[in-house]
A and B are shown apart, each in its own frame.
Chain A
Amino acid sequence: MNVIVEREKGLLQLEQRIDELKAQAAQQPVDMTAEIRALEEKYAQIQREVFGTLSPWQRVNMARHPKRPLGSDYIRALDQFDELHGDRHFRDDHAIAGGFAKLRGRRVIAIAQDKGRDTKEKVLRNFGMPSPEGYRKVIRLVKLADHLGLPVVTFIDTSGADPGIGSEERAQSEAIAQSLYELAEARVPIVATIIGEGGSGGALALGLADRVLILEHAVYSVASPEGAAAILWGDAARAEEAATRLKLTSDDLLQFGIVDEVIPEPIGGAHRDAPGTVTRVLDAVDAALGVLSALPPDQLREGRYRKFRRIGAAAG
């Protein structure tokens, strides 16, 4: 069970009580303003207490909240989107959608991972775990972007690349390696945003970018907490402990220089104001593209090289 959803239950009752009072106040001549205000203040206080500071594990749960805006919500909020399907080899992977788009009037190639909202969509999208075909779609779209001089905008949200038999048979490693390889020297600006869960190489495959943005309660880690716990201690149940140790929160990542900018979320998380959050993200991406688009391709690539070159340069 999602620990954030659990925490929200108490608040939900309070919310309902306030709504009831408001409805009563509208119908009856009695003045209930003071009572409503008192409840609203109490609500705000509890909200601050509950969501003001979140532990790493709570952040993981926030990033996985069932109502959190997904990749398709960002795609829908673009001025326009013309999806380009498939990897031209095997099939169309619905864990990653991509195509031509306009963002604040700017022509771009937009690529988004998506976990799916309801059960049917989750199955269709393989719970957001891309297969090699998904990454090969990315490769082909980045090539297209490079060819036409269009910036690349990616939205990252996955617990990791698909670990199934078919994915291994079709060389998942090679697909991710080549996606990184393609992004490495693309002559166009690349802006990546971690909107939910950034899990391992399956996320990084869309994350080798000139600017890496992250939503406040999104997480980005070397492996999913469950995966890390399984690898380290042979016990996926110790995910909370792994989440604490992995330093996967937006503040940690900013400190390590792994992300460039943290985009704030409303108190209680992105889903408390999904349209507002989506707008803020698109504004931030647009602003980043504005800066990057002024740079000549060689300078852009040199900057990209240096950005990653300095990460984890160990002391000699």
Chain B
Amino acid sequence: MPMPEWLRLRRAQPVPAEDAAQWTKCPKCGSMIYKPDLAANAWVCTSCGHHFRMHAFDRIAMLVDADFTEIGGELVPGDPLGWTDKVPYPQKLARDREKSKLTEGVVCGFASIGGYPVALGVMDFNFRGGTMGSVVGERITQLFERARERRLPVVVFTASGGARMEEGMLALMQMAKTTLAVRRHHDEGGYYISVLTDPTTGGVSASFAFQADVVLAEARAAIGFAGRRVIEQTIRQKLPENFQTAEFLLEKGAIDMVVERKELKDRLVRLLDYGSGAQRPANGAVSGGSVVTPQPDSAETRA
């Protein structure tokens, strides 16, 4: 598989530089951290262990063996409602494209993790708060459809503020669309692992995030249906500190496990292994892609 330029760059060793822009402040403990150190530490604060929100490219670079073939990257959002408030919606999109270097709020593609071929989707909070509009819904749907054709397990990292207001009901309907694709993948023997990262709320948490066979959450991630502010306004009282955290959900029995980021890849590989027997190999060629059967460690050499 070809390696995209961004992936090559992100996997390269950072060049040390005494530049102010190379420093960042931990939002949790306030300590100043040298960015290359932060990157080397999987975007986990070296002082307090706070998990920084990750760029989708960094996340992919951290997880995949060597390869990543993006799908749906050509899909770009339109402006179905002709939305304008302070700025027109297309301008907001252009600004986020510039700022995030992403074309939309999710990056999807084929890769292998620890030798296991997977269909991988990674959402990014940097693009319109990871909200789900038509393109996010379409990319996720295509991911599950192509994974079904290729008999691949799906791994999705969620990070989302919910449905995207600027696309109105077309955004809400993506919950239904993605659900149908997830369900078909499942009913044909597909294996699906979701990893809920900070934050996962609204329409994404109420659809494909919680439809996986195994639901993981990154340590201390905020996860819920309604936003914290909405709940506080409704009940007119402050919520406890740990409310809607990954650990809170684990205690309530809503998720399978909470994983520290640095242990995530190993854990994911183990979980993929348990499901590798369930991916029934297809008979002969399947439209839309070659048949791939799990072959641990075979993809390591293709850097």
Contact = CB atoms under 8 A, between A and B. Distances in A.
Asked if A and B bind, the verdict is yes
Interface of A: 161, 163-165, 167-174, 176-178, 180-181, 184-185, 200-201, 204-205, 207-208, 220-223, 227-228, 230-233, 242, 245-248, 252-253, 256, 258, 304-305, 308-309, 311-316
23 contacts: A163-B225, A165-B231, A168-B226, A172-B225, A176-B207, A180-B179, A180-B211, A184-B179, A200-B163, A200-B203, A201-B206, A208-B176, A220-B169, A221-B172, A222-B169, A222-B172, A222-B203, A232-B165, A252-B169, A311-B170, A314-B135, A315-B76, A315-B78
Interface in B142-174: 161-165, 167-174
B276 interface: no
A312 B138 contact: yes
A154 to B, nearest CB: 13
B78 A256 contact: no
Given A177-B206, A221-B168, A171 B211 contact: no
Given A165-B239, A168-B244, A313-B134, 14 more contacts: A171-B210, A172-B226, A173-B210, A180-B211, A201-B172, A204-B172, A222-B203, A228-B165, A232-B165, A245-B85, A305-B184, A308-B180, A309-B141, A314-B75
B225 A311 contact: no
B105 interface: no
Nearest to A208: B176
A246 B165 contact: yes
B81 A245 contact: yes
Chain B interface SS verdict (over half): helix
B216 interface: no
Chain A interface SS verdict (over half): helix
B252 interface: yes
B134 to A, nearest CB: 3
Contacts of B184: 185, 305
Given A200-B163, A222-B169, A168 B224 contact: yes
Contacts of A168: 224-226, 231, 243-244
A314 B138 CA distance: 7
A156 B83 CA distance: 27
Contacts of B133: 312
B134 A312 contact: yes
A312 B181 CA distance: 15
B138, B211, B225, B249: which has the most chain A beta carbons within 10 Å? B225
Contact of A173 (B78, B141, B163, B224): B224
A246 B244 contact: no
Contact of B176 (A180, A200, A233): A180
A184 B249 CA distance: 26
Contacts of A167: 225-226
B57 interface: no
A149 to B, nearest CB: 19
A309 B135 contact: no
B205 interface: yes
A180 B182 CA distance: 11
A312 B77 CA distance: 9
| Band of interface residues on B | 35 or more
Contacts of B177: 308-309, 311-312
A239 to B, nearest CB: 13
B78 A178 contact: no
Interface in B28-84: 74-78, 80-81, 83-84
A228 B162 CA distance: 11
Return the 10 tightest CB-CB contacts between A and B, nearest first.
A312-B134, A163-B226, A173-B205, A177-B210, A172-B225, A176-B206, A171-B254, A184-B183, A312-B170, A180-B179
A180 B169 contact: no
Given A201-B206, A227-B230, A176 B180 contact: no
A172 B206 contact: yes
A188 B141 CA distance: 23
A200 B172 contact: yes
A200 B227 CA distance: 14
B169 A248 contact: yes
A176 B201 CA distance: 12
A170 B252 contact: yes
B173 A173 contact: no
Given A171-B210, A171-B252, A228-B165, A176 B225 contact: yes
Nearest to B240: A165
Given A201-B202, A312-B80, A312-B171, A165 B243 contact: yes
Contact of B169 (A173, A184, A221): A221
Contacts of A258: 169-170, 173
B111 interface: no
A2 to B, nearest CB: 21
A188 B239 CA distance: 42
B235 interface: yes
A304 B176 CA distance: 10
Contacts of B253: 171
A221 B81 CA distance: 13
A245 B89 CA distance: 12
B109 interface: no
A240 to B, nearest CB: 13
A185 to B, nearest CB: 5
A267 to B, nearest CB: 26
B137 interface: yes
A177 B208 contact: yes
A221 B170 CA distance: 9
